[in-house]
Structure 1
Amino acid sequence: MTTASPRSDRDARDVVRFYLLDHRTPLGKAIDVALLGLNLLFVAVFVAETYSLPARVDATLRDLEAAIALVFLAEYVLRLYGARNRVAEFFNGYTLVDLLSILPTLAVLALPVPVAVNVGFLRALRVIRVLRFYRFTRDAEFFFGTVSDNALRTTKLLLTVLVLFFVSAGLFYSVEHRTNPGVATFGDAFYYTVVTLSTVGFGDITPATAAGRWVTVATILAGIIVIPWQAGKIVREWAHREKVNVTCPSCGLSHHDRDASHCKSCGHVIYQEFDSRG
């Protein structure tokens, strides 16, 4: 019986890691597009299941959810297999989100029916899968090409707002829909989240549980902290878009005016080529 050599195993892991991170080759692009589409579908199935649907449609959605969860489980295992440092990869924030988003579905599939019924409400945690979209914005290179730094920051800001809305609405729905008559669907929870974060506060939907109130508090705090932080990065970049990224050799100050000949901080001469034609 032959066994795989350490070298061949390392080569296989390098290939797996390459294609899970690659944005340029046809296979790498196909994997990117497929995972992006499955993420969107996984979240869409969760939203659809919160509405009253015919039994046949509901069963189809559950089967689809299970199939997608198994694909994500395979991806999760492959990411751990291909990682250079498996412990670091396991504790990576994106990887933990990947696991947490599919565990409730896998638990429902694996556990006996009476137990599965009791833990089924945890399937609402699938909505945290939207956090997975941040993995696609780690760098400026996408399957369709490379975007500018400003475009990437703007994308992250928009994604932050959408993620905050969806995760907050999903968590609020999961803790409120069993006891709160005003939260029958994900749409109700999403409406409440938008109204709350926009400080309109109509008062037609209010938390009925302690968990719902804590989710609301966490949502407001996250909105106050995270969104201005992301927006501040964009404003700072726009404010410096007319600057030249030249570092003073004397004091280390960077980003000088285009026509600067001396450092504004220490007065050291910094040569910059400047076109007098403007």
Structure 2
Amino acid sequence: MGISSETGGTEREANALDRLRQRLRILYHGHSQSALRFQLAVMVVDLLIIAFFVVSPVLRGRPSFLWIDYSIAALLAADISARALAANDIPRWLRQPTSLVDLFILVTLLAPLWLANLGFLRVLRLWSLSRSGFLWRPLTRRGYGPWREIIHSALNLVTFLFVVTGFIYTFFFREGSGLAGYVDALYFTVASITTTGYGDILLPGTWGKLTSVAIMIAGISLFIRLAQAIFRPYKVRYPCPQCGLQRHDPDAVHCKACGYPLKIPDPGD
């Protein structure tokens, strides 16, 4: 009798977990009105969190910082747990770069004082968001699918800009500089990335020069990538079944790489 009760309880718990996972899959990946509203709400929360991450170097000394930090950690932990449960293969989901970035950001939120020097990396959440279906599914439905590569390149550049700004502020401008120091770090980053080089703000020492060189090389590469995405002819993403080539002309009937016949769907369908 006792064994039967335990088995029944285990089955009920398993069924409840399965129902929860199915519900989360519908909310995170579904197309119903309730799922779309949920996805929009999560995306808005993500954008607010990213805004906090951008200004967090300046807010770090304020009494309310830890309350906000731990509240965001609780939200992010709940979101990561829900995404994991919604995944069909949790170990595979955990190995994805976006999942690893989110887990690392959660660790920095849980230890804001110990890992303060790495706090600027939280802006990588913007990169993580740019790779999620939350951003692209509604845009694609509204006909903005062709802009995906341009938006990707722009978000990569913005992410790089604020990660580098946080790095510069943390290691070169932070001591007593406040908002003015953060603006100086942002100004230096933009001047370096654009190779404007006004010369009114310089990073001191050998490490400062090496940092400047790295910023200029990486920044100009991202600018070129963005320019290519904007000005080169429009392509569609459609993997060739034979060779796997991802990008083709919208009216292509054969793969340029291997000649395999393609059946690219009309964007209007």
Structure 1 residues 215 and 88: alpha-carbon distance in aligned structure 2, compared to 1, 3 A threshold: farther
Is this contact kept in 1: 2:43–2:134, CA < 8 A? no
Deviation string, structure 1 residues 242-273 (Cα, Å, up to 9, x no partner):
8622228xx72779xxxxxxxxxxxxxxxxxx
Name which of structure 1's ranges 6-15 and 87-96 shifts more when overlaid on structure 2: 6-15
Structure 1 residues 40 and 138: alpha-carbon distance in aligned structure 2, compared to 1, 3 A threshold: closer
Match of 2:64 in 1: 60
Deviation string, structure 1 residues 193-215 (Cα, Å, up to 9, x no partner):
11001111112222236665554
Cα distance, 1:87 vs. partner? 1.9
| Aligned pairs for 1:118-197 within 5 A | 118-136=114-132, 140-142=136-138, 145-178=141-174, 185-197=181-193
Normalised to the residue count of structure 2, the TM-score between the two structures is 0.72
Match of 2:217 in 1: 221
Match of 2:80 in 1: 76
Structure 1 residues 139 and 52: alpha-carbon distance in aligned structure 2, compared to 1, 3 A threshold: closer
Structure 1 residues 25 and 218: alpha-carbon distance in aligned structure 2, compared to 1, 3 A threshold: farther
Is this contact kept in 1: 2:174–2:181, CA < 8 A? no
Structure 1 residues 36 and 171: alpha-carbon distance in aligned structure 2, compared to 1, 3 A threshold: farther
Match of 2:265 in 1: none
Root-mean-square deviation (Å):
3.6
Partner letter of residue 93 of structure 1?
P
Match of 2:42 in 1: 35
Deviation string, structure 1 residues 161-183 (Cα, Å, up to 9, x no partner):
22221222122222223469699
Q: Percent identity?
A: 24
Is this contact kept in 1: 2:193–2:216, CA < 8 A? yes
User: Mind listing any 5+ residue stretches in structure 2 that lack a counterpart?
Assistant: 1-5, 237-247, 263-269
| Aligned pairs for 1:6-21 within 5 A | 6=14, 8-21=16-29
CA distance in 2, matches of 1:172, 1:41: 23
Structure 1 residues 184 and 211: alpha-carbon distance in aligned structure 2, compared to 1, 3 A threshold: farther
Cα distance, 1:231 vs. partner? 4.0
Name which of structure 1's ranges 33-42 and 62-71 shifts more when overlaid on structure 2: 33-42
Is this contact kept in 1: 2:59–2:65, CA < 8 A? no
Q: Alignment partner for residue 91 of structure 1, among 73, 91, 95?
A: 95
Normalised to the residue count of structure 1, the TM-score between the two structures is 0.70
User: Mind listing any 5+ residue stretches in structure 1 that lack a counterpart?
Assistant: 109-115, 256-278
Structure 1 residues 214 and 71: alpha-carbon distance in aligned structure 2, compared to 1, 3 A threshold: farther
CA distance in 1, matches of 2:249, 2:79: 43
Partner letter of residue 80 of structure 2?
Y
Larger Rg: 1
Q: Alignment partner for residue 234 of structure 2, among 238, 242, 259?
A: 238
Is this contact kept in 1: 2:39–2:134, CA < 8 A? no
Name which of structure 1's ranges 92-101 and 80-89 shifts more when overlaid on structure 2: 80-89
CA distance in 1, matches of 2:39, 2:75: 14
Q: How many residues align?
A: 241
Deviation string, structure 1 residues 99-118 (Cα, Å, up to 9, x no partner):
2223112024xxxxxxx4x5
Cα distance, 1:142 vs. partner? 1.4
- 1:203 paired with 2:199, answer yes
Cα distance, 1:88 vs. partner? 1.8
